[in-house]
Amino acid sequence: MGEGRLPWQGKMGQDSAGRDRGGVKGAMKPVLGIETSCDETAAAVVAGDGRILAEAVLSQLAEHAPFGGVVPEIAARSHLRYLPEQVRRTMAKAGMHFRDLGGVAASSGPGLIGGLIVGCQFAKGVAIANHLPFVAVNHLEAHALTARLPGLAEDGAPFPYLLFLLSGGHSQCIAVLDVGRHIRLGGTVDDAVGEAFDKVAKLLGLGWPGGPALEKLAEAGDPNRYPFPRPMMRRTGCDLSLSGLKTAVAQTVSRLGEISPTHRERADVAASFQQAVVDVLADRAGHAMDMMRQRFPGSKLLVVAGGVASNARVRDALLEAARLQGFRMVAPPVRLCSDNAVMVAWAGVERLRRGIIDDMSVTAQPRWPLEALAP
């Protein structure tokens, strides 16, 4: 990417009129970010003004695919094997030495503990050896702050805003009030949305990860063919539940299995399932925006993140839900929606900018709710 500038980025940290748009300003040395919480070994260097100087994501998909999901032990060993080279290459791409950095940030939870330990301890090693500050980044906060990368959203992402995080491991509605200040408004009571997509895709024989394949199959199907349940629709609050929907789909697939379903029938199941999820998400997002407005009347921004946010139907439905509520919606580009190290480095910039540094005694945590970040 030329000069590390993203296609949507203008002058860093400012809009075309030169006003600050929710990012941070001023000179600060670049931060190295490391992401190893699941099945991506990623490193990135982000400048203090938000320029992405280098980034690299190594997916372990091929290693986990034969098992139909992420195998934690394989993930941890793979991070251990590839992270040093990934960091070396990223630093070389940025044209920098460790001593040129302003700090090292690593996803330190929540996630798979083996991988988190690898990334977190590696980052501490680099920090100690080069006398740099270390930042233990909460992976969910990294997703939450991505929208604030200068230039990403036309009108920026000033606090407070609503985050709808839709990934394979998490599905939550979060009020993002500031760095380290979050309120969980609701979330799934059973499966994460990406997990539901993966499980239904598996039922339909689509392999893993199933979300993108299911979206593709659904294109040829009729979303109204099967009236699957829409759990929790219109309930107060913004919790969601997907296990009942998944069971209904499993029963339909098993019935169809007896008559060897045609491609068209499988596509109808995929499209009907996807439509049910889309309806539930739009309804839940609408409720979450209501809750946000009541608690923070000035807030009119919905940020969508996580792998499922790359689903076109989901994006369109949430855009419409936001429009109906008078909210602006920001969805980072797909590569910054799913797990990456740019978001970790950027969270590091935001924290270091506020003077927040972690002690070397901080350890990786498999569970680390956002509320625990409150000072």
* Distance of alpha carbon 186 from the chain centroid: 17
Given Zn ion, ligand KG4, none, residue 90, with its beta carbon under 5 to 8 Å by kind, binds none
Residue 36 touching Zn ion (CB under 5 A): no
CB 169 within 8 A of CB 194: yes
Q: How far is the CB of 29 from ligand KG4 (least distance, A)?
A: 29
Per the DSSP assignment, residues forming a β-bridge with 178 are 181
Residue 275 touching Zn ion (CB under 5 A): no
Phi, psi of 238 (to 5 degrees): -130, 25
Residue 221 touching ligand KG4 (CB under 6 A): no
CB 238 within 8 A of CB 185: yes
Stretch 323-342 residues interacting with ligand KG4 (CB under 6 A) = 338-339
Q: Using the structure block, give the residue that is written with the tokens 């580009």.
A: 333
Q: How far is the CB of 293 from ligand KG4 (least distance, A)?
A: 27
Cis bond leading into 160, ω under 30°?
yes
Residue 146 touching Zn ion (CB under 5 A): no
Encode 222-233: b = buried (16+ Cβ within 10 Å), e = exposed.
ebebbebebbbe
Q: How far is the CB of 307 from ligand KG4 (least distance, A)?
A: 2
Residue type, position 236, single letter: T
Residue 273 touching ligand KG4 (CB under 6 A): no
Q: How far is the CB of 139 from ligand KG4 (least distance, A)?
A: 8
Stretch 316-375 residues interacting with Zn ion (CB under 5 A) = 339
Closest alpha carbon to 18 in 145, 146, 150, 152: 150
Given Zn ion, ligand KG4, none, residue 310, with its beta carbon under 5 to 8 Å by kind, binds ligand KG4
- The edge-to-edge listing of strands for the beta sheet with 52-59 is 52-59, 40-46, 31-35, 103-109, 134-138
Separation CA 299–CA 293 (nearest Å):
6
Closest alpha carbon to 133 in 372, 352, 370: 352
Tokens of 327: 């909210």
Q: How far is the CB of 103 from ligand KG4 (least distance, A)?
A: 24
Residue 167 touching Zn ion (CB under 5 A): yes
Residue 119 touching ligand KG4 (CB under 6 A): no
Given Zn ion, ligand KG4, none, residue 107, with its beta carbon under 5 to 8 Å by kind, binds none
Sole window of 14-22, 162-170, 176-184, 236-244 interacting with ligand KG4 (rule: CB under 6 A): 162-170
Residue type, position 294, single letter: Q
Site string for ligand KG4, 164-193 (x = CB under 6 A): ---xxx------------------------
Sole window of 54-62, 95-103, 195-203, 294-302 interacting with ligand KG4 (rule: CB under 6 A): 195-203
Chain residues that interact with ligand KG4, rule: CB under 6 A: 38, 167-169, 194-195, 197-198, 209-212, 215, 306-308, 310-311, 338-339
